[in-house]
Amino acid sequence: MVDPQRILSVSELNRMARELLETSFPLFWISGEISNLTRAASGHWYFSLKDQGAQVRCVMFRSRNAYLDWSPREGDKVEARAVVTLYEARGDFQLTIEFLQRAGLGNLFEAYEKLKNQLAAEGLFAAEHKIAIPAHPRQIGIVTSPDAAALRDVLTTLRRRMPAVNVIIYPTPVQGKGAAKLIADAIRTADQRAECDVLIVCRGGGSIEDLWQFNEEIVARAIHVCTLPVISAVGHETDFTIADFVADVRAPTPTAAAELTTPDRSSLLNTLLQHRNRLARSMQNLLQQRSQHLDYLSRRLLSPMQQAEHKRQHLSQLRLRLTQAMARQLQRQHQHLQAVQQSLAHLNPRAVLQRGYALVEKLNGELVQDSNQLAPGDQVKLTLSKGSAQAEIRDKGT
């Protein structure tokens, strides 16, 4: 409580009033019509919200309005999430706007969340239903309006990244009454024809009302039953539609969808060049290794002439060794022969005869070695060193 006897300054009064207002009014929603809209150089927005009976000053700071994907205009019916405050310097009562949307969007968001929860419960968003996007599609289908800027973005990106890929457009309105059914029909037509490897469903950015056709159940179910892999590229990066959740892949923009469906030609060529250079280096290294190995083998390999020379040298060595062996063998045999000859010479009876002895034989050739072999009157033959003689035995001793 303020002491009634206390004299307040204007600044104190305004500060106390601001604190009272901010604590008494939590964050709340308010609806009204925009008037006196001013966009300051600082980026802040200043305007009034009014209805038939009153108006209130508002400010939306740049840190908040930067998140809006649409720009309000004079006379727009809006719904704002705000807090009550007081601008102390002038004592102006005002609202600080935290979020701003077009009037009626609350119902749209409610419908959006309800359908999203229903389809999620049915399993339409489940990962096991997702189909992989082919890495190198030969033909790409696009479901969109022929006049849409999104189509030009997609085609430009495809020509830049992979000009050889074929494109089939399945034209359909993407905005307005009845567009959801036509979009679903175009998706079913692409699926039935089965002439594409991947299907892009796209449109450019816009308000939630502009994108609402892609939040319709008929479009979600058409995407779900499509046997072609589907990429949803609706609106800007911050926009999320039911189609995004059902599709096999969500692309933040149509341009990003084109990038997802095609490899970058320049990147492929660069990768191919890198592989070629790596292969060339590998081949060069292999050839150098084989060349070095060949040099090593060639140093070990002898020519036929060198081999013949080695054989001749070996043969000469064998001949020399054989000759030496034969010579040694002949020498040993000669020595043995001499020894035998000496032994024979010693045993030769004629050698004994040469010393004056005689060999006595009976006439029948019997060698007489014992006198008992003889009797007086026997005729014997005497063999001398030179010649022989006959004799008669007259007497014999013992």
Would residue 346 count as lying in a domain?
Answer: no
C-alpha dist (Å) from residue 349 to 301, 302, 355, 373: 71, 69, 10, 20
What CATH code is carried by the domain that includes residue 33? 2.40.50.140
Verify that 84 and 150 share a domain, yes or no: no
Interval 293-318: pLDDT, tens? 887 777 777 677 777 787 888 888 98
Inside any domain, residue 166:
yes
Same domain, 151 and 215: yes
**246-271 pLDDT tens trace:** 999 999 999 999 999 988 777 777 88
Same domain, yes or no: 256 and 173: yes
Range of the domain at 216: 108-129+137-265
Q: Are residues 98 and 225 in the same domain?
A: no
For 121-141, what is the mean pLDDT?
Answer: 93
Tell me if 287 is assigned to some domain.
no
CA distances from 25 to 18, 47, 82, 109 (A): 11, 20, 9, 25
Give the percent of the chain with pLDDT over 90: 43
Residue 272: inside a domain: no
- Is the CB of residue 258 less than 8 Å from the CB of residue 153? yes
Buried b (16+ CB within 10 A) or exposed e, 351-383: eeeeeeebbbeeeeeeebeeeeeeeeeeebbeb
Q: What is the mean pLDDT of the chain?
A: 87
Cα 51 from Cα 73, distance rounded (Å) = 16
Sign of the dihedral defined by the CA atoms of residues 131, 133, 135, 140, in that order = positive
Flag whether pLDDT at 361 surpasses 80: yes
Regarding whether 149 and 219 lie in a shared domain, the answer is yes
Of 265, 298, 330, which closes a domain?
265
Pairing of strands 139-144, 55-60: unpaired
Residues 163 and 255 in one domain: yes
Write down which residue in 265, 284, 314 finishes a domain.
Answer: 265
Indicate the burial class of 39 (C-beta count within 10 angstroms; 0-12, 13-18, 19 or more): middle
Instruction: Find the helix packing angle between 149-161 and 254-261, rounded to 10°.
Output: 30
Angle, to 10 degrees, between the axis of helix 149-161 and the axis of helix 265-300? 10
- pLDDT at 381 > cutoff 90: no
Same domain membership, residue 180 and residue 71: no
Q: Does 53 map to a domain?
A: yes
Q: What is the rounded distance in angstroms from the CA atom of residue 327 to the CA atom of residue 329?
A: 5
213 in Cβ contact with 148 (< 8 Å): no
pTM (two decimals): 0.51
Q: How confident is the model at residue 2 (pLDDT cuts 50, 70, 90)?
A: low
Report yes or no: 133 and 229 within 8 Å, Cβ to Cβ. yes
Summarised one tens digit per residue, pLDDT across range 173-191 is 998 889 999 999 999 999 9
Do 17 and 52 belong to one domain?
yes
Coil, helix or strand for 214? Answer: helix
Pair (124, 238) in one structural domain: yes
Element (H, E) at 234: strand 230-234
| Structural domain count, the chain | 3
For the chain, the first-to-last Cα distance in angstroms comes to: 189
Inside any domain, residue 302: no
Please tell me whether residues 84 and 173 are part of one structural domain: no
- Asked if residue 219 and residue 192 are part of one domain, the reply reads yes
Residue 220 lies inside a defined structural domain of this protein: yes
> Which of 213, 236, 265 is where one domain is finished?
265
225 and 243 housed in the same domain: yes
